[in-house]
Structure 1
Amino acid sequence: MTPNLGTLDRSFRLVLGVVLLAAPFVSGLALLENTAASVVSVIAGLVMVATSTMKFCPLYRLFGIRTCKI
């Protein structure tokens, strides 16, 4: 897998992923009291953190997008 995520993109994904992972457990939002919404939030957070750590996004490859300079 060739890296296709730049530093800024990776940082944004990591922060957003951590927020999505923590939101169902620490927020008092009525939306996240629903089990399905909590599961979707956790899955989306895991995907964001995983793509950030691997420096690779499958959707970027599909659409031919590269934000890294390599």
Structure 2
Amino acid sequence: MTIRRTVKRVIDGDTFEVARKIQGTNRIRIAGLNAPDSNQKGYSEAKNRLRRLISSKQVTIVPVGRSYNRLVA
């Protein structure tokens, strides 16, 4: 199963939110990627890089699981 959605907000270097089809957002964690946390060196750079790559763009999501209330894809 694949899902096409528009990115609404980048949370950090490996997590972002997409618009739901009807209302609200879904939080997506990028599978296989482990970016620095907010208290670690490189956090801002990782977040800004992901923002430049995907902000406001349509992305294709291929779900592989769930973790901490996020879809892992």
Q: Which has the higher contact order (CA 8 A, sep 6+)?
A: 1
> Which entry has the higher C-alpha Rg, 1 or 2?
1
Q: Determine if the TM-score, normalized by the shorter chain, exceeds 0.5.
A: no
The structure with the greater share of residues assigned to helix is: 1
TM-score, normalised by the number of residues in structure 2: 0.30
The structure with the greater share of residues assigned to strand is: 2
